[in-house]
Amino acid sequence: MNPEIEYREGLDELASHYKRVLELIGEDTERDGLQKTPMRVAKAMQILTRGYTQDAHKVLTDALFEEKYNQMVIVKDIDFFSMCEHHMLPFYGKVHVAYIPNGYITGLSKIARVVDIYSHRLQVQERLTQQIKDCIQNTLHPLGVMVVVEAKHMCMQMRGVEKQTAITTTSDFSGAFNQAKTREEFMNLLHSEGKHI
């Protein structure tokens, strides 16, 4: 699937609104550099929010396999980019996911696809973390899931406090990960190779 060419309904209307935004900030939308900008931004915004039209649960069930393996499965260092719903500025970083199968596993790339779908919506990091965990828990019904998200937020870097190196970490977990020992095992494996961002 190439998201560059799968634009949704309303693209022209969206571009017209971006043209008006440019006018309101004092720009000349007829100058060479800006004539095509409203449509470019409209297309970019549809790509950045394509997660609204995608079903993360279906992604997991399309690659569901019966398997007796019942130890921890970890997919770490999943790159993501998302848009903060408060300022519509990017935040980006890494997602780390662990789950303990309960009779079924999914394709490893599907975990990354779940991250991609939820991150391509207007988000806050806390909700993103919870949505990834809930999707895996409710679809695979594993013995437990844990998700850790580490991110830098452009709304903190470019405006407001303007702190360039601040990293926000969020986590959510269920089932077997309610036990501190299981969480510690995941975190030890997660940070065994050092920094992630």
The residues assigned a catalytic role are 84-87, 125, 153, 155
Question: The tokens of 77 are what?
Answer: 């260092």
Residue with tokens 């799968």: 6
Residues 6+ apart with CB under 8 A from 193: none
Contact 66, 107 (CB under 8 A): no
Q: How far apart are CA 194 and CA 28, in angstroms?
A: 48
Of the candidates 50, 37, 41, the one whose C-alpha atom is nearest the C-alpha of residue 7 is 50
